Structure 1
Amino acid sequence: MSKAGALGLASRVGGSIEKNAVLYAVEEYEKYHDYYGGGEEEERKAECTNMANIYYDLATGFYEFGWGESFHFAHRWKGESLRESMKRYEHFLALQLGLKPGQKVLDVGCGIGGPLREISRFSSASVTGLNNNEYQIARGMELNCIAGVDKTCNFVKADFMKMPFPDNTFDAVYAIEATCHAPDAHGCYKEIYRVLEPGQCFAAYEWCMTDVFDPNNREHKKVKEEIQIGDGLSDIRSTGEVIEALKQAGFEVMWEKNIAVDSPVPWYLPLDKSHFSLSSFHTTAIGRFFTGNMVKCLEFMGLAPKGSGRVQKLLERAADGLVEGGKKGIFTPMYFFLVRKPHSDNQ
């Protein structure tokens, strides 16, 4: 395979973690969930940021290998490719915010910046990506240069619970499947409220448990736990909790909806190993088998760090949990909301 394939994956596994420490990092991450899984919620939240950082160091290489530069799901029409749907999903966000040339926009939890680059090119706005993961920022800066958007797009390394920006800095803010990592939704949304100009909007796609989720149902709880451990989350909020946190932060809710319910093609289809697709080959049963054995070989030859196979298995576990959550209708990664900061800010 090309450098962009097998060797590209091998060189990126572990992110900024020293290659000889990847296995230890995987073990520590798994221990976190074993230890905190049944522990107190506040204890889990206290370790949330560190856990998410380790997770993305471990997982980013695999994400880029399987998904490209944008790490998110999308509402998808029949006959539409996965990549086409992801671009449209990003354009929809820009249109809902009414982005215009020259505006200053914040992408909260930007990953390696795939959506950031697409939205900037689509709207001609200047976009700042906020991320607390050193490796993802370094990779994003490299990709910005390759895409030729390094003059209009940049990255800031910081925690979105405490942003290093003055009040009323941005003309618009968005987040794509990122603020689910916040240990406190109200605190996160309050920070977004603070840095947003009065009268302007914040839009996001949020990971949530739906109204169908029953916390007393053993199967439902198991699915939720699988998603949490496989995706670096300490907890997953309900749609009601998200809206309440937004209102408490001071936002006016313009509209909100679980967009997944109207998707002609199930959002989880790319992860469903029972479904065969050439465009999503890596996630099919055959593709997983191929990728798993490739990673084993790379690890055996010393090209990929020890522990790479464990990371791949962790992500497969996440995929299975997401598919089950989608099929049961108890989880959505595309709870969309558009909210506005009032013109008169009395917060």
Structure 2
Amino acid sequence: MSKTGALDLATGLGGKIDKSDVLSAVDRYEKYHEFHGGQEQGRKDNYTDMVNKYYDLVTSFYEFGWGESFHFAPRWKNESLRESIKRHEHFLALQLGIKPGYKVLDVGCGIGGPLREIARFSSSSVTGLNNNEYQITRGKELNRLAGVDQTCDFVKADFMKMPFPDNFYDAVYAIEATCHAPDAFGCYREIYRVLKPGQYFAAYEWCMTDGFDPQNKDHQKIKAEIEIGDGLPDIRLTTQCIEALEKAGFEVIWDKDLAKDSPLPWYLPLDKTHFSFSSFRLTAVGRLITKNMVKALEYVGLAPKGSQRVQDFLEKAAEGLVEGGRREIFTPLFFFLARKPLDG
């Protein structure tokens, strides 16, 4: 099960970064972003360092507040956040047509929440690809506790340079992960290479929508808040994702922004006007309690120096996500299903 206590949060903060170095790591991470003078090209050139620092710094917060699956989902009325997340993962498995015995690749798997759910749902074997050592360590322990450690594993590698042979996997998916790639085409091309001909790749992408105006300063601010709060080099338009897929060789079967038909807003868990007992830690009250708790833990030395600043940029992300969702200029739910041709 996920870490749930205050001491778990405190001991996990900083991931594999030495606790005495967390504050300087926060400094270096923040300097990649526009609010601190950083530039998009710098984030793309140094994406490995930036994304690794991000997940070392934030994974403990994510697990404390969100659970094992770090993603959003369309949500029905009277459906809990946890239920919607599981359904979202099952939908992905069904779209891919995953069958028992399939070898499946999860690109950018986090600590493996979706990996474990999809493996159990489909009776398949899932490998999680991740370049963050701390998340892999946590994922392996959670796999053992869930009893899937014999069929599911993790590989530490960059998804721009995968250590797998050509035509190896029966299905590939990515859940809100390839948005970290500095180049969508390069990432999708690697996925194309390792996928067997005739098989499918599906993903949920973080994208700016057609409603985004790059000349609008409010829109620019929202985009920058999401980028610093979520470790992103740049946020692509939905159309750019499709263009990159086709350039990589995929046949796009269908695509849709699933946020458009969601009965409840995808950003509801982060909306400060919303209250829920089932996802209390994500509410305004829950986040205030966590903020004060982290402040106290840092003050007494149980949490490393810099922990409060990590929470600050996560709060900035939450504000950007909610505002981007309300204005319909951003979506984390751009779904596509793509096929590698038989002669690919």
User: Which interval holds the TM-score relative to the shorter structure?
Assistant: over 0.9
Q: Report if aligned partners of 1:208, 1:238 keep a CA contact under 8 Å in 2.
A: yes
Cα RMSD (Å): 1.3
Aligned-partner Cα distance in 2 for 1:90–1:285: 27
The reply on whether 1:273 has 2:265 as its aligned counterpart is no
The reply on whether 1:6 has 2:40 as its aligned counterpart is no
The reply on whether 1:33 has 2:36 as its aligned counterpart is no
Aligned-partner Cα distance in 2 for 1:176–1:140: 16
Deviation at 1:35, TM superposition (A): 8.1
**What do the CA deviations read for 1:220-264 (whole angstroms, capped 9, x no partner)?**
111000000110011000000000000000000000000000000
Consecutive unaligned residues of structure 2, counting only runs of 5 or more, are: none
Aligned-partner Cα distance in 2 for 1:63–1:35: 22
Q: What is the letter of the counterpart of residue 281 of structure 1?
A: F
Which has the higher mean CA deviation after the structures are superposed, 292-301 or 247-256? Answer: 292-301
Q: Report if aligned partners of 1:230, 1:314 keep a CA contact under 8 Å in 2.
A: yes
The reply on whether 1:86 has 2:85 as its aligned counterpart is yes
Deviation at 1:43, TM superposition (A): 3.0
* 1:294-333 pair list within 5 angstroms: 294-333=293-332
SS at structure 2 position matched to 1:32: coil
Q: What is the letter of the counterpart of residue 20 of structure 1?
A: S
Deviation at 1:31, TM superposition (A): 1.5
Aligned-partner Cα distance in 2 for 1:317–1:38: 16
Q: Report if aligned partners of 2:31, 2:37 keep a CA contact under 8 Å in 1.
A: no
Aligned-partner Cα distance in 2 for 1:176–1:288: 25
Q: Report if aligned partners of 2:3, 2:64 keep a CA contact under 8 Å in 1.
A: no
The reply on whether 1:174 has 2:173 as its aligned counterpart is yes
1:252 maps to what in 2? 251
Aligned-partner Cα distance in 1 for 2:189–2:180: 15
Deviation at 1:325, TM superposition (A): 0.3
1:18 maps to what in 2? 18
Residue 48 and residue 87 in structure 1: after superposition, are their counterparts in 2 closer, same or farther (change >3 A)? same
Deviation at 1:46, TM superposition (A): 0.4
SS at structure 2 position matched to 1:15: coil
Q: What is the letter of the counterpart of residue 84 of structure 1?
A: E
Q: What is the letter of the counterpart of residue 28 of structure 2?
A: E
Would you say how many aligned residue pairs link Structure 1 and Structure 2?
343
Aligned-partner Cα distance in 1 for 2:238–2:48: 22
**What do the CA deviations read for 1:293-325 (whole angstroms, capped 9, x no partner)?**
101111111111111111111111100000000
SS at structure 2 position matched to 1:4: coil
Aligned-partner Cα distance in 2 for 1:37–1:227: 16
**What do the CA deviations read for 1:9-36 (whole angstroms, capped 9, x no partner)?**
0110000000111111111111221488
**What do the CA deviations read for 1:174-223 (whole angstroms, capped 9, x no partner)?**
00000000000000000000000000000000000000001111111110
Q: Report if aligned partners of 2:32, 2:38 keep a CA contact under 8 Å in 1.
A: no
TM-score normalised to structure 1 length: 0.97
**What do the CA deviations read for 1:32-52 (whole angstroms, capped 9, x no partner)?**
21488563x433310112101
* 1:326-341 pair list within 5 angstroms: 326-341=325-340
1:75 maps to what in 2? 74
Aligned-partner Cα distance in 2 for 1:3–1:91: 24
Aligned-partner Cα distance in 2 for 1:205–1:3: 25
Q: Report if aligned partners of 2:32, 2:42 keep a CA contact under 8 Å in 1.
A: no
Deviation at 1:125, TM superposition (A): 0.5
Aligned-partner Cα distance in 2 for 1:185–1:34: 21
**What do the CA deviations read for 1:130-163 (whole angstroms, capped 9, x no partner)?**
0000000000000000000000100000000000
The reply on whether 1:146 has 2:149 as its aligned counterpart is no
Consecutive unaligned residues of structure 1, counting only runs of 5 or more, are: none
The reply on whether 1:236 has 2:248 as its aligned counterpart is no
SS at structure 2 position matched to 1:164: coil
Deviation at 1:283, TM superposition (A): 2.1
Which has the higher mean CA deviation after the structures are superposed, 51-60 or 21-30? Answer: 21-30
TM-score normalised to structure 2 length: 0.98
Aligned-partner Cα distance in 2 for 1:140–1:125: 17
